[in-house]
């Protein structure tokens, strides 16, 4: 997995680490849904920006990753 964007937001939320933990430990959650929760529209990164969203770059970024399905 890799993340890019506003460093403060990613550090404050441990963005990539949190998405990985959600995918690993939450029952029946895919990596895609965990990444969406963190970096998608209305996700944790955007919410963390509060009223600074679209003004300072706060909360803007993305996460990519490769998910193994059935060990393949």
How far is residue 11 from each of residues 3, 16, 61, 63, 69, measured CA to CA in Å? Answer: 11, 9, 12, 13, 28
| Average pLDDT taken over every residue of the chain | 89
Is pLDDT at 32 greater than 90 in this prediction? yes
Confidence of residue 12 (pLDDT cuts 50, 70, 90): confident
Distance, C-alpha 55 to centroid of its chain: 20
Ranking 5-9, 10-14, 26-30, 68-72 by mean pLDDT, the lowest is 68-72
Report pLDDT for 71. Answer: 63
Q: What's the pTM?
A: 0.84
Two tokens, residue 19: 């998405």
Q: Which phi and psi angles does 25 have, rounded to 5°?
A: -105, -20
Please determine, for residue 64, whether its predicted confidence score (pLDDT) is greater than 80: yes
**Arithmetic mean of pLDDT, 21-30:** 92
């Amino acid at each position: 997995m890799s993340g890019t964007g506003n460093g403060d937001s990613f550090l404050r939320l441990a963005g990539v680490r949190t998405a990985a933990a959600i995918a690993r430990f939450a029952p029946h959650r895919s990596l895609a849904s965990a990444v969406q929760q963190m970096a998608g529209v209305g996700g944790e990164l955007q919410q963390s920006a509060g009223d600074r969203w679209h003004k300072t770059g706060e909360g803007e970024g993305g996460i990519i990753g490769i998910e193994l399905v059935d060990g393949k």
